[in-house]
A and B are shown apart, each in its own frame.
Chain A
Amino acid sequence: MTEISYIEKTSSKDVAGLLHPLVKEWFFSKFKDFSDTQLYGVKQIHDRKNILVSAPTGGTKTLTAFLSILNYLVDLSVKGELEDKVYAIYCSPLKALSNDIYVNLIDPLREIKELGEKKGIVIGDIRVGLRTGDTSVKDRVKMLRKAPHILVTTPETLAIVITTGKFVEKMNALEFLIIDEIHALTNKRGVYLSLTMERLCDLSVLDPVRIGLSATIAPLEEIAKFLVGSDRDCLIADVKLIKKIDISLGFPGIHILEAETVNSQKELYKMLDKIIQEHKTTLIFTNTRNATERIVHHLSMTFPEKYSGMIGAHHSSMSKDKRFEIEEKLRKGELRVVVSSTSLELGIDIGSVDFVVLLRSPKSVSRALQRIGRAGHKLHDNPRGMFIIMDRDDMVECGVLMKLMVEKTIDKTEIPKNALDVLAQQIFGMAITKIWEVENMLKVIRKSYCYENLTKDDFFSVVSYLAGDYALEHRNVYAKIWYDPQTKQIGKRGKLARVMYMTNVGTIPGESFIEVVIQSPAERRGQSVGKIDELFLERMKRGDVFVLGGQKYQYLYARGMKAFVKGDVSKNPTIPSWFSEMLPLNFDVALEIGRFRKLVKERIKNKKECVSFIENYLYCEGGVGEAIYEYFMEQAGFSEIPDENTIVIEKFKEEKEYLLFHSLYGRKVNDALARAYAYAAARLKYRDVEMGISDNGFFIAGECLDENKIVGLVKSKDLRVVLKEAIEKTDILRRRFRHCAARSLMILRNYKGREKSVGRQQVHSEFLYAAVRKISADFPIMREARREVMEDLMDVKNAERVLQWVEQGKIKLKKINTPIVSPFGLSLMLQGRSDLIRMEDKASFLKRMHELHMKVIGSKREEAKELQN
C-alpha cells in the first residue's frame, strides 16, 4: 500500500546542520536564509524520502530538489568516492532547459569548487549532462565515455536513454529521480513518463528517491501517487507562501453590453495600452493562437510609435527559435508587452514581467494562478494582474474564478488511466531492451499509478496487436514484437525495431493544418486568417460559411494545403465552428458558478442588497456587481435563472425545434450530456440531430423534439453504452484515432530514415481508420481512441454524476417554452452547432438526396415544358 502523508517544515538550523561545511558556506554567501520550500524539502530528500513539493510559482523549488544532491555529491567528491555513474536524473517537460540548469546547477558547482580551492580542498569534477532531442551525436558519445553525475533531460529523451544499451549500464545504480513541472504532466505525456520511470527503476539495482516539483495543483495526493507509483510511500510538502494575490476584474468601455462591438474593440486596445504604459513589462494571456496574433497586430497598428519592436507574440505553433528569441528578449527586459496563448504558462524564468492580463476566462483556478504567477516570479514580489472580460458570461465566470483564487480553492485535475496507445509504445520499448517473462513485464507496468488496475485482457490485447495477431494477412505488417504463449516470453521482432522506436518516441500528436487564405474582397486577397484541420475541410463544401477566430468566412476552393475563402460574409454559419483550441471550463469551477447563481437568485428581489452581496462575494468593484445583477434580472424576467439545483430547459422554434439545456458543468461534461440527449432524440425519429455545446449549456435541434420522451430516455447507468454508440460515426473519433495510431506506432512519423509530413500521415490515417474498422470493433487502439474521447476529451464520469443528481432529485429539470432563446443561452446559440449525431447512414442519405434532386430536376422539366407550351 502507498502511504501519503503531509509534512511540516524543518528548522533552519537542522537543515543547515545537514550540509557539508563548504556547501553551507556557499549557500549562505548567496542567500540570507533557506526559503520555506527548502525548509520543507531539503531534509526529506537528504533522508532519501520520496517527496512531492508543491509551491506557487516564484518559489525556489529547483534548488530545493538539488541542494541535498549537490551536498551529497560534494561530500563524496571530497572523500574521493565519486563514481563514474549517473547519481541523479532531472526530468522536465520544458525543452528550453539550459538556462535554468546553469542557474541551479552549473554555477553553484563552479562556485563551490572555487570556494574549496581557496581553502585547499580539492573537489573533483561533478559532471552535469544535458540531453534532449537536440543533443549532438558527439555530445552523446562523450556522455557514454564519462557519465554525467547529474543527467538533465526531457520525458521523451529519457525513454530513449533507457533503451540505449550502453548508457543504461551507467544508470543502473541511480539514486535520485527528479520530475519538475509535474503539474504539466497530467496528460498522456505524463502517463508515458510514469511507465518510463518504472522501466528505469526496473533497470536500476537501487530504487531511486523520487522528487516531484509542482506548481499549485489539486488533488496533491493524486499527483503524489502518480509520482511514486504503487507500493511506495510519499511525503507531500504543501508550501503555502503567503503571497498576496493582487487581482482585479475590468471590461473595456463604460457598459459591458458594448463589449463585442467595433467600438469596444477600440476601447479594448486603449485599455490594454494604458495598462502596458503603467507597467514595466506586461504579459497578456489569450486562450487561442488566433487571438494572440490579433492582439499583437492591432496593438502595433493602433500605436505604431509605442510598440514597434517592443511587442512580441509567443504561442506553441511558432518555431522554437522564434519562441526562444522572445524569451531571451523578455529576460533582458527588452519588450514592453508579450502576448501568449498558453505557451508561456510554464516554468522558464521570464524575468521582468510585472503585470499579467488575462484576456477572457482561463477556465480553471490553477491555470489562472499559474498565469498570474508569471508576474513577480521572484520570491517576494506579489503576483499582480487583471481579468479583462468581453461578455457577461465571461464576467460571471471570471468573477467566480477570482473569488476562488483569492480564497485559494484549487480545482481538481485528473490523470488518464490505462491508456492503451501509450502502453503499446512502452511495451515495444521494453521488448527492445531484452526478452521478458510476460508476468514480469505486467508487474513492472502495474507499478505505474496510471496502470495499477490494468486488466490482463487489456494488456494481452495490446501484446496481440504488437505481435501482429490482428493483421488479416501478413502478420509481419503489424508485428513489432513476438510473444510465445508456450514459454510466456516477449521479445522484439525485426532489425529495424530499435531505430523505429528511437525515431518515433513520444505522445504529442502532430497536427496538420490547412491555411485559410482570403480570396475576396480584393483588398484583403492573400491574407492568411488562421488554420483549420484537414478533416474539417473534408466536411465542408463550396459555399459553406464557417467561423474561425470569431469571424465568418465562406469556403470557395482548396489548393494543396490552402483553403481559399471569401471574407466579410453576412450569412449565418452553415457548418459547425472549429473549436479545437477551446479550453474547457473546470468542473469544480462550474459547480461554484452554479452555487453563485443560486445565491444571487435568492437575493434578486432586493437590488441594493444583491449588488453588494455580489461585490463582497466575488471581491469585485467598479460596476461589476451592478452589471451582473442586471444580467441575472434579464434572465429572471425572460425565463428562469438556472442554478446548482435547477437545469432550465428552454424549448423554442426557429427553422427547427430547439431544446436548450442550461447545464453549467463545463464543456467536457456538456459534450457527453449533449450527445446522450441528441442520440436519444435521433433514435426516436431515426434522423440526424444537431447539437451545440458550451461551458454553460448545450442545445439539441431537430425537426420535432419530444422533450418528455427524450429526457426519460437518458439514464446515468446507460450513459457509457449510449455514448459509445453516439461517437462511433463522429469526426472527433477519427481525429483521436489518428493520434492514438501515431502513439501506438501504427503510423510512424519517421520510418526508414524518411520523415513524413503530417499531411501525408493524415491522408494515410484516414485509410487506416477505414481499414481497422473492418478488422475488429475491439481493436485495442480503436478502443483507446474511444476511451480518450469519452474520458479525456469529454468527462463521462462527472456527466454520470450530474445524471445521478437528476435521478436523485437533487437537480430538477425545468422545462419552459420561450419565444426565442433567453439571455443566458444567447452566446451558446450564437456560436452555433458543434456536431451532429448521425443516425442516417451514408447510403440512406444518398437515397434521400437523390429523391430531393429528382424533385428539383422534375420541377425544372415541368417549368421548361410550360415555357415551351
Chain B
Amino acid sequence: MNKIEYIGKCLVVKTEGKKILVVGDLHLGYEEYLNQAGVFVSRQMFNEMIEEFDEILNKFGEVDEVVLLGDVKHDFGSVMWQERRDALGVFDYFEDKKIKIIIVKGNHDNLLGSVVAGRGIEVRDFYIIDEFCFAHGNRDFPEMHDKTIRCWVLGHGHPAIKLSDMVKVEKYKCFLEGEYERKKVVIVPSFLAYSEGSDPRENNLGLAWDFNFNKFKVRVVGEGLSVLDFGLLKNLT
C-alpha cells in the first residue's frame, strides 16, 4: 500500500517496497550568497541542516532514497564555493548512509550539473515512481499528466501560513495538500531555515498550475517534527 507520512518539513513516501524521503527547496549557499550581497551572516546553516536530517532519520528509521525537490542551490548565475561544498556535504551524508539521491531540477539549479558531475547523481526534470511524480513545480511536463500518476509532490512554492488569534499573527511553514485534475497534489515547504515562506492567501506561490488552494488542506510544521492538521485553507481564519 502506498502511503505518505509527514515528518517535520519533510515527508516520506512508501511505494514499491521503498521508503523515499522527500526534501523541499534547500537553497544551499544562501549564506554565501548573502555575504556576496554585503550581508555578513556567519555560516551555520549547513550544520543545523545535518542535525535536522539526523533527527528525521533517527525518528523515522532507514530510508532507501532521498528526493531533493529542486532549488538545491540558491544562486542562479554561478556556483559558489559554499554551495559546492555544502552540496557535496549533503551528498556525502546520504551516500554514507547508502541512501540513493535523486534530484529534480529547480529554477535555481541551472549549473547544478557541474556540482553533481562525477558523483553518479542524476538531475532530472521530474521523477516518476509507481503512481508518484516528484517535480519542482515551476514547470509543467506532459508526462506528469499520465493517468497512471495519482499524486504529484512539488516544491518551489515555499508555502507557509499565517495564524492569528486576533491579537497576534505568527507564520509557520506548511504543506498544502489538495486535488488537481483528479490527482492528489502535495506542496512541500522549503527546507531553508530562518525564512518561513509565503502565505497562499496573500502571495502568488508561482507554481505552474492554477490550483484552487481554498480547497487544499493545510498541514502546519510544528515543533519536534510534528505536523498538525489545520483543515481546509478556506476554513482558516
Q: Do A and B come from one complex?
A: yes
Residues of A within 8 A of B (CB): 470-474, 477-478, 538-544, 557-559, 574-575, 688, 690, 745-752, 754, 756, 760-761, 764-768, 770-772, 774-775, 836, 838, 842-843, 845-850, 852-853, 856-857, 860
Select one of B37, B163, B235 contacting A764, CB under 8 A. Answer: B37
B230 touches A853 (CB 8 A): yes
B170 touches A767 (CB 8 A): no
Could you say which residues of chain B place their CB within 8 Å of the CB of A848?
165
Alpha-carbon distance A824/B44, docked complex (angstroms)? 52
Could you say which residues of chain B place their CB within 8 Å of the CB of A838?
168
Could you say which residues of chain A place their CB within 8 Å of the CB of B37?
751, 754, 756, 760, 764
Q: From B45, which residue of chain A is reached at the shortest CB distance?
A: A771
Within 8 A of A (CB), among B190-214: 193-195, 199, 201-204
B194 touches A853 (CB 8 A): no
Query: A558-B203, A747-B38, A754-B37 are known contacts; what are 6 more A-B pairs with Cβ within 8 Å?
Result: A543-B237, A557-B201, A688-B167, A745-B40, A768-B39, A838-B168
13 interchain pairs, CB-CB under 8 A? A471-B42, A540-B169, A543-B237, A745-B40, A748-B38, A764-B41, A765-B39, A766-B195, A771-B42, A771-B44, A771-B194, A774-B44, A849-B163
Q: From A563, which residue of chain B is reached at the shortest CB distance?
A: B202
A768 touches B41 (CB 8 A): yes
Interface residue? B18 (CB, 8 A): no
Q: Within the complex, what minimum Cβ distance (angstroms) separates B205 from chain A?
A: 13
Q: A541-B162, A746-B39, A848-B165 are in contact. Are A842 and B220 (CB under 8 A)?
A: no
Alpha-carbon distance A745/B223, docked complex (angstroms)? 34
Interface string of B206-236 (1 = CB under 8 A from A): 0000000000000010110000101100011
Interface residue? B34 (CB, 8 A): yes
Alpha-carbon distance A265/B128, docked complex (angstroms)? 67
Q: A843-B223, A846-B170, A853-B236 are in contact. Are A470 and B42 (CB under 8 A)?
A: yes
Could you say which residues of chain A place their CB within 8 Å of the CB of B31?
771
Select one of A473, A542, A750, A836 contacting B168, CB under 8 A. Answer: A836
Q: A558-B203, A845-B170, A857-B231 are in contact. Are A767 and B195 (CB under 8 A)?
A: yes
B163 touches A472 (CB 8 A): no
Q: Within the complex, what minimum Cβ distance (angstroms) separates A532 from chain B?
A: 14
Alpha-carbon distance A746/B203, docked complex (angstroms)? 30
Could you say which residues of chain A place their CB within 8 Å of the CB of B39?
746-748, 761, 764-765, 767-768
Interface centre among B37, B167, B228, B236 (most CB of A within 10 A): B167
Alpha-carbon distance A559/B39, docked complex (angstroms)? 25
Q: A541-B169, A558-B202, A747-B38 are in contact. Are A846 and B43 (CB under 8 A)?
A: no
Alpha-carbon distance A539/B168, docked complex (angstroms)? 8
Q: Within the complex, what minimum Cβ distance (angstroms) separates A477 from chain B?
A: 6
A857 touches B42 (CB 8 A): no
Q: A768-B34, A771-B194 are in contact. Are A846 and B222 (CB under 8 A)?
A: yes
B165 touches A746 (CB 8 A): no
Alpha-carbon distance A473/B46, docked complex (angstroms)? 11
Q: Within the complex, what minimum Cβ distance (angstroms) separates B84 from chain A?
A: 15
Within 8 A of A (CB), among B31-63: 31, 34-44
Alpha-carbon distance A857/B199, docked complex (angstroms)? 21
Could you say which residues of chain A place their CB within 8 Å of the CB of B43?
471-474, 477
Q: 8 smallest A-B Cβ distances: which pairs?
A: A751-B38, A748-B38, A770-B194, A471-B42, A764-B39, A541-B162, A843-B223, A850-B228
Could you say which residues of chain B place their CB within 8 Å of the CB of A849?
163, 165, 230
Could you say which residues of chain B place their CB within 8 Å of the CB of A766?
194-195
B172 touches A477 (CB 8 A): no
Q: From B231, which residue of chain A is reached at the shortest CB distance?
A: A857
Q: From A478, which residue of chain B is reached at the shortest CB distance?
A: B40
B199 touches A847 (CB 8 A): no
Interface residue? B164 (CB, 8 A): yes
Interface residue? B166 (CB, 8 A): yes
Within 8 A of A (CB), among B151-184: 162-172
Q: Within the complex, what minimum Cβ distance (angstroms) separates A397 from chain B?
A: 31
Q: Within the complex, what minimum Cβ distance (angstroms) separates B50 from chain A?
A: 13
A749 touches B38 (CB 8 A): yes
A857 touches B235 (CB 8 A): yes
Could you say which residues of chain B place their CB within 8 Å of the CB of A748?
38-39
Alpha-carbon distance A748/B43, docked complex (angstroms)? 17
Q: Within the complex, what minimum Cβ distance (angstroms) separates A472 from chain B?
A: 5
Interface string of B61-105 (1 = CB under 8 A from A): 000000000000000000000000000000000000000000000
Q: Within the complex, what minimum Cβ distance (angstroms) separates A44 from chain B?
A: 46
Could you say which residues of chain A place their CB within 8 Å of the CB of B235?
856-857, 860
A541 touches B199 (CB 8 A): yes
Alpha-carbon distance A853/B38, docked complex (angstroms)? 43
Q: From B33, which residue of chain A is reached at the shortest CB distance?
A: A764
Q: From A540, which residue of chain B is reached at the shortest CB distance?
A: B169
A746 touches B167 (CB 8 A): no
Alpha-carbon distance A766/B171, docked complex (angstroms)? 14
Alpha-carbon distance A761/B39, docked complex (angstroms)? 8
Could you say which residues of chain B place their CB within 8 Å of the CB of A747?
38-40
Could you say which residues of chain A place their CB within 8 Å of the CB of B237?
543
Could you say which residues of chain B place their CB within 8 Å of the CB of A765?
39
Could you say which residues of chain A place their CB within 8 Å of the CB of B223?
843, 846
Could you say which residues of chain B place their CB within 8 Å of the CB of A756?
37-38
Could you say which residues of chain B place their CB within 8 Å of the CB of A558?
202-203
